[in-house]
Structures are given as C-alpha cells and as structure tokens.
Structure 1
C-alpha cells in the first residue's frame, strides 16, 4: 500500500500568484506495489508492442498496471476520440485503487480534455501524473490544483539508466531527481529559488490566455520543445512576454530543443541568440541545455516542488525537505 496524499503550507512569497494555491499537495510516493493507470490522453500508440514495453517497464519498477480501456484506440491523430480519452483519464482519477497515472505517449490532444477537469476534482483525487511533451496540458491542470506532478518519460519509451535513476528518485524515494548539468550553457548567472512550472513551450504558449495558463510568478520556468523552427520558438517566447507571463519569474531553465532548425529562406537565428535575448530582458538566472525534453536521458522534474537554480554552478536542485517531512511523518503514523 502507498501513503495518502499530504498537504503542507507554501511560504508567503510563493502564494502571491492569482492561480497559485497556498498549500502544495504531494501525491503519495509510488513505492513497490503501487498501482498505476496507463492511459493515452493524446496521440495513438504505434501498436500493442509499445503497450507491452510500457507495462514491462512499470513492472520492472515494482508497480502494478491497469491499462486504460481505450489506450490502443486510434481516431485520426488521437488515441480515440475526446470522450474515450477523457473517460480513461476520469476513470483513473476516480478509482481509489489507482495511485498514479503514467501517460503512454504525447503527440497532441491532452488540452482537449481540460474542459472535463476542475481544480476541485483533482484536489479530491490527488494522483501522481507522469509524462511530458503534450502532457504539459495536464501538468498545467495539476499545477492549478496545487498538486505536484512529474515531467518525465512517457511509458512507451525505452527507459535509459539515466532516466530510470531520476524517475526512481522522484517517484519512489522523494529525493532530488535533478542535479548537476555540466554541459549546460550559462546564459545569465545567478541563483534563484522558486517552484518548478512549465513544460513544452508550444503547449505552455497555447494555454496563455486560457483558464489553464501556467503561472510563472515566483517560479523557475522549465521549457523544452521539438520540431519547431527557431523563428517559431522566438514567436512563442515573444507571445508569453507580451502577455506578461514572465513578469515576476525567478529564473528560467531551458531543456533541449530537439530538431529545431535555425535557418530559413529569409535568414538564420540561433536558439542561443533567442534564449540570450530573453534572459537579458528578464534579468533572471538562466541555463540552457539541461537534460529534459525529447531526449533519451532525461530528468524527471517535479512540477510544483521548490527548487534552486544555480546558473553559475550549472545545477538545478529540488528541495525535498517539505515533501520528505510529510512522507516521514506518514510512515511514522503507519507504524
């Protein structure tokens, strides 16, 4: 059995955002024997072999798996229609025997399920959420509800030793799942502490102006993307700046921008130039090239948790004191 979710108060300075709850709720650690729902809230799997790999990976971590009814469906570029994908998500949330939700893949479609969610629903049924890319839309909902969620590998992908280690530290041990990134580029030096928010840049920018917009205030903003020409990266960051989204952010942690060409018929502009321009405008510590995004070796980043970005040292360190205190307190209560 796993622990029930717990709540602890955030510092005053972390509670000023309009959509940022005063209390952070931590879903239970997914220790051996935890039961996970595997669902496809976005794009379709390429076949049963991907589901078989996902189940085998979860079982190798000591987890029990319940596969969503429509996990293998395909409707155009969705894993089933909105109703089917939404039904699997809601079934996982309402099932008291399910401890966490591991999304099988990204793609596109998770944002279309947001109308079926509410802050009250997520707070009533707190579950650990795992995934990245298009799953950013669901992370945004968890963040609105003040729940920690986990920007990490999707279940269908082979799990490298690096990714497995970070995933286990985040979800089974409740320890720092990030750390040093010696290959990262120091864009702007300095040190900042704040809660972790963000995800895939295309999704974060698309949620701007909606009730599910990600609140950057007092936060370390985590961003990554794939397959976007650099002028589109520029456009999305400009949209967020014009909307005032970056006002009051503590720092920016850029992950990998995979397969993002910097040359068009009209000229060339690099990711490095675009990121530097943003950091100079914001005057906050900024790192680029951290190990998260569409890569084999990636950190599992606990959104909602407090972390310190030390740009000069090239580190992102997750503060696990409050979460560890909760889990230790619960374990003592069980004995």
Structure 2
C-alpha cells in the first residue's frame, strides 16, 4: 500500500488517543506509517515552536513518502509563511508526494499554488479523519466510556482512490434551492478550470499577500467552522469587493458548521447569505459539497484543472486526467 508520513505543522495534538487510533487504523489498512519525531511536540498552542514545525515540514518534504498527512489543523502555518521551504515542497510534490490536509493547511496549499503551481490535496487530517471516537450512551458500558467508531466510508473510499491513483472526480446531490437558482441551466459549467480554495477564513487571510494565487476562470471551493452567517457573509463580500469571485467560473460551497443563530438574527440564516451572494454574482454558486469540518469529506486536488458539470440534481467535479 502507501508510505504515509505523519507530521504536525500547525496546532498541538492534545488528543493523544485520537492520534494513536489514527495511526492504528492506517496501519490496519496496510499502509506503512512513518511518524515525524516531533509529531506530538507542544509549545503554547502549537505543535512545537516555529523552528520545530518548520523542520517537521522539511522532513515531510524530504521523506519520499507517497502521502504526507497532517495530524490536525488549528493555527500556526500563517506565521511560517515567509520561511516555508517552498521549493523543497514543490519538488516533493513534483516527485509524487501528495500533501494532504485541510483547515489551517489551506495556507500552505494556496501559498504553494501561488509560488509553484503545485497540486496538493484537500482532505482529512489524521486525528479528525482516522482517529475519531464516539461516546457510548445507553449501551450498558460505564459512563463516559469511549467506543471506537469507524472512519466515514465516503472519506475512506476517496482516500483509497488517492492512494491507488484511480480517483477521477467526485459528485454530490444538489439541494432544491440550487436547482431553482440555476433556472434550468445544466451541462458543463466550467472546463479545464483551476480548482482552488479551502477554509474561507484562511483563504481571505492571504488576500493581498505574496502567497495569494491569482486564479482567473477557476472553480473556488470554500468551507468554514465556528463562523456565524454574518461573518461568513463579511468574508465572502471581501472576496467579492476585491473582484475575486467575479473572475471565477463558479463558486462551490462546502459545509459551514458549528455556529448558533440567536434571537437577534430574525431569519437571517446561511441560506440568506447564499441568496445574497447569488444576487450579486453572474456565475453559478453551488452548495452541498461534502467537504469541511465534517466526517463525510471528499478529497479535492487543489491546483488541478477540473470540469464542473450539473446533470439533473447531481453536481460533478472531474479531474480524471491527473491519473
């Protein structure tokens, strides 16, 4: 199977049990898992100080692994941007190492796309993707006991496709609101467009910096966690006012989770945010992409050229040419 290098470029791993479960599950799938010596380092909220994490990123790039998988996201890569080994990372990607991660990892992915047009993969981290556990309730076990639950099947299938080099794309069922907004438009919405994006907050943090990828006629995918709809709208408006959104072929929204509406909102929901965005843009805005801070997560090639189709209620992102 695959040689997987596990390292920690961002936040410290606090859940050691999830880390062990993730390693165990990857090995049970037949993979050779190499663990970076500082994967469990801790300094303040980070997985080691800046020099420690930079060294870990360098070791991941030099590992020759088939996949370099982060342990978790959090925060930390933004402060490393001026010092990241961009050429070394690009060479490793060019030689076949597939860098996989999401959330804070968006920073490295878009910086690498801007600097070297290298393809990386938006996908699970070790702890949240492979190391999850569920608390057993009403099962007759002791209170608070932890029962292992298998990683999400769709995520596993997409991960296996990446390992085997056979993945050609992904698809999902569009909500009725998307079909109404498309007004009967179907077929190919984008052809040979650059797929880019990731965590919305991290995408915006790069705007106006040397690590911002100037993508035109692309497909921009976005997700976020713990952000109220008004903050999501504010971030989207920043991209709109900067002219970023209008230059794309389409915007694809993934999962926006872990927020709570209050009495003050009075019907102001995420759906209202999406509606406002659609009214302001002339390009398609699709929702429901199974990607974000959720168990069911597809893997997406950041920086690859893709075709985007709508067929009936199905949306399809295709990148079969990569293999």
TM range (shorter): 0.7 to 0.9
- Change beyond 3 A, Cα 1:250–1:94: same
Contact 2:46 2:75 in 1 (8 A): yes
- Give the superposition deviation at 1:285: 1.6
Once the 2 structures are TM-superposed, how far is the Cα of residue 184 of structure 1 from its aligned partner? 7.3
1:225-283 CA-partner distances (Å, limit 9, x unpaired): 11001111011111111222223201011001102334364655211121222223221
From 22, 27, 31, the counterpart of 1:54: 22
Contact 2:172 2:290 in 1 (8 A): no
Partner of 1:75: 43
Q: Is this contact kept in 2: 1:148–1:303, CA < 8 A?
A: yes
- State whether residues 258 and 294 of structure 1, in contact with CA within 8 Å, keep that contact through their aligned partners in structure 2: yes
- Asked if the contact 2:246/2:282 (under 8 Å) is kept, the reply is no
Q: Which residue of 2 aligns with 1:192?
A: 190
Query: In structure 1, what is the equivalent of residue 103 of structure 2?
Result: 133
Give the distance between the partners of 1:214 and 1:264, measured in 2 at CA. 39
Structure-1-length-normalised TM-score? 0.80
The aligned residue for residue 253 of structure 1 is 252
1:204 is displaced (CA, Å) by 0.4
For 1:53 and 1:215, the matched residues in 2 are separated by: 39
Residue 102 of structure 1 aligns to a residue in which SS?
strand
- The Cα shift of 1:214 comes to 3.6
Alignment correspondent of 2:275: 276
| Cα offsets for 1:125-170 (capped at 9, x unmatched) | 2231111111111111232222221111111123211110112223
Stretches of structure 1 that go unaligned for 5 or more consecutive residues are: 1-31, 325-335
Match of 1:318 in 2: 318
Q: Which residue is equivalent to 1:205?
A: 204
1:165-195 per-residue CA deviation (whole Å, 9 max, x = no partner) reads 1122234233224113245751742422312
1:2-42 per-residue CA deviation (whole Å, 9 max, x = no partner) reads xxxxxxxxxxxxxxxxxxxxxxxxxxxxxx1x322211111
RMSD: 2.1
How many residues are matched?
Answer: 290
Which blocks of at least 5 consecutive residues in structure 2 are unaligned? 131-150
d(CA) in 1 for partners of 2:105, 2:217:
23
C-alpha displacement at 1:293, in angstroms? 0.5
CA distance in structure 1 between the aligned counterparts of 2:199 and 2:37, rounded to whole angstroms: 27
User: How does the TM-score come out when normalised to structure 2?
Assistant: 0.83
Which residue of 1 is the match for residue 134 of structure 2?
Answer: none
**1: distance between equivalents of 2:72 and 2:38?**
13
1:102–1:264: structure 2 CA closer, same or farther, 3 Å change rule?
farther
Equivalent in the alignment of 1:63:
31
Which sits farther off after the overlay, 257-266 or 150-159? 257-266
Q: List per-residue Cα deviations over 1:67-87 (Å, max 9, x = no partner).
A: 122111222221111111111
8 Å CA contact 1:292–1:298 kept in 2: the answer is yes
Aligned pair in 2 of structure 1 residues 118, 73: CA closer, same or farther (>3 Å)? closer
